[in-house]
Amino acid sequence: MFVTRDTALIEKTCLTNQYPDLCVSTLKSDPTSINADTKGLAAIVINVAKDKYRYASDALQGSLQDLASDINNDASLQVSAAADYPNSCHNVFKGAPGLTYPSGLAQREELLVHLCGVAVGIINLLG
């Protein structure tokens, strides 16, 4: 159960985010968000993206290290790099005539891009 103050922080943090509904639902689904500050909320979203999308794991892991070290610009760049992974994957399919890009893969990768957008939006609040 969320305390009003904690819900308010999540709502405030996600209000200006590119994907506010995804931001709120992702953070509310993680019980550790109860005690998290803004930096902690960013880490939660990065961890969700990292756990769901192993292909972008290295960049997301690097972003967590940068975030922990207060190197927020680099953290944001690492998350953006992870979000770009679907473009590389999609380009491989474009280069193979007759090969259709699987719709399930496209949906998963769209979620990765959106989660990364949420994380970058929260990191940007850190300054």
pTM (predicted TM-score): 0.67
Angle between the N-to-C axes of helices 20-28 and 103-125, in degrees from 0 to 180, rounded to the nearest 10: 90
Is residue 106 pLDDT above 60, yes or no?
yes
pLDDT digits (tens, 9 = 90+) for 40-85: 999 998 888 777 667 688 899 999 999 999 999 999 999 999 998 8
Q: Where are the domains of the chain?
A: 4-125
Type of residue at 105: L
**Burial state string for 60-74 with b = 16 or more CB within 10 A and e = fewer than 16:** bebbbebbeeeebeb
Q: How confident is the model at residue 97 (pLDDT cuts 50, 70, 90)?
A: low
For 17-40, write each residue's pLDDT tens digit: 888 888 898 899 899 998 899 999
Q: For the structural domain made of 4-125, what CATH number should be given? A: 1.20.140.40
Q: Is 10 exposed, middle or buried (0-12, 13-18, 19+ CB in 10 A)?
A: buried
